[in-house]
């Protein structure tokens, strides 16, 4: 188990908002630059058997952020990330991987700025959608506005592919489920309040450059204003 306590001081400026921008983003842009003074704590418990290509074990991560010890931004944020790997065969070539993530942020009586909100979509969260392609969007510009809470579940099945397991290549099939929301959105931001679901297939290659992931996916549940993407590429052992 590891525990890490850190402090971060940053200046954030919102620029290049364009000629037509929602009033809420204009107001935040006019108020920038922001000074963010934040204390973070990360608690991690990890017992996977292989950090590059896990076949069994668990990873639990709890991250808390508190901003407002000075600066212009105040919020309390919680992020929980749990992952499970379980082999279905004695040779550990058939492996189930389950991941559940949850996040919530509270502005502590102030509006949460767009650069601190949660965003979903892409190869590391919900495949089949572009990064920031899920959830609240501004009506005029069709830009992602983010949310103050999200729930995400990923289920993957790894399987041997054409006898290439010794070269670090595995196939996978998956289902991703995600929700991103905010009950108090500005009038010029839209969101349906619905869950998004996508499924697909892919490859996981434990290459000499590190773990590489390639996936082809299609949304099963989506909204007309969501931004989709069929192909995703990412690096790392987890989503």
CATH number of the domain within which 151 lies: 2.40.160.50
Distance from C-alpha of 217 to C-alpha of 7, rounded to nearest angstrom: 38
pTM score of the predicted model:
0.90
**24: phi then psi, degrees, rounded to nearest 5:** -65, -40
Q: Which residue has the tokens 């991690």?
A: 44
Cross-strand pairs, 6: 40
Task: Say yes or no to pLDDT of 20 above 60.
Answer: no
Range of the domain at 140: 2-235
Judged by average pLDDT, the poorest of 15-19, 55-59, 107-111 is 15-19
With a cut of 80, say whether residue 31 has pLDDT above it: no
Please report the pLDDT score of residue 207 as a whole number.
87
Q: How far apart are CA 152 and CA 197, in angstroms?
A: 10
pLDDT score for 100: 98
Please determine, for residue 7, whether its predicted confidence score (pLDDT) is greater than 60: yes
pLDDT for 217 equals: 96
Judge whether residue 56 has pLDDT over 70. Answer: yes
pLDDT of residue 16: 66
SS3 category, 115: helix
pLDDT for res 236: 77
pLDDT at 61 over 80: yes
94-98, 121-125, 174-178 — which is least confidently predicted?
121-125
Q: What is the pLDDT of residue 120?
A: 96
Residue 186's pLDDT is: 84
Mean pLDDT value across residues 117-141 = 93
Is 108 in contact with 76 (CB distance < 8 Å)? yes
d(CA 50, CA 105): 33
Number of domains in the chain: 1
Question: What confidence tier does 17 reach under pLDDT thresholds 50, 70, 90?
Answer: low
Summarize pLDDT for 157-212 with one digit per residue, the tens.
Answer: 999 988 888 888 999 999 999 999 998 888 888 888 899 999 999 999 988 888 89
């Amino acid at each position: 188990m590891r525990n890490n306590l850190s402090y971060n001081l940053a200046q954030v400026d919102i620029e290049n908002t364009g000629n037509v921008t929602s009033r809420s983003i204009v107001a935040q842009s006019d108020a920038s630059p922001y000074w963010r003074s934040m204390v973070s704590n990360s608690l991690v418990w990890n017992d996977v058997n292989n950090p590059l290509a896990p076949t069994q074990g668990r990873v639990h991560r709890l991250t808390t952020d508190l901003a407002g010890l000075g600066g212009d931004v105040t919020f309390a944020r919680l992020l929980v990330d749990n992952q499970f790997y379980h082999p279905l065969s004695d040779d550990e070539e058939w492996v189930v991987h389950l991941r559940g993530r949850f996040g919530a942020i509270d502005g502590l009586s102030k509006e949460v700025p767009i650069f601190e909100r949660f965003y979903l979509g892409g190869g590391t969260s919900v495949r089949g959608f572009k990064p920031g392609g899920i959830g609240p969007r501004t009506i005029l510009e069709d830009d992602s506005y983010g949310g103050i809470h999200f729930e995400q579940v990923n289920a993957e099945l790894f399987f041997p592919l054409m006898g290439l397991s010794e070269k670090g290549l595995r196939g996978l099939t998956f289902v991703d489920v995600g929700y991103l929301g905010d009950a108090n959105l500005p009038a010029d931001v839209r969101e349906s309040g619905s869950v998004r679901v996508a499924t697909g297939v892919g490859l996981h290659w434990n290459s000499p450059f590190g773990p590489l992931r390639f996936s082809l996916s299609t949304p099963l549940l989506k909204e007309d204003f969501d931004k989709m993407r069929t192909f995703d590429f990412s690096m790392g052992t987890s989503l």
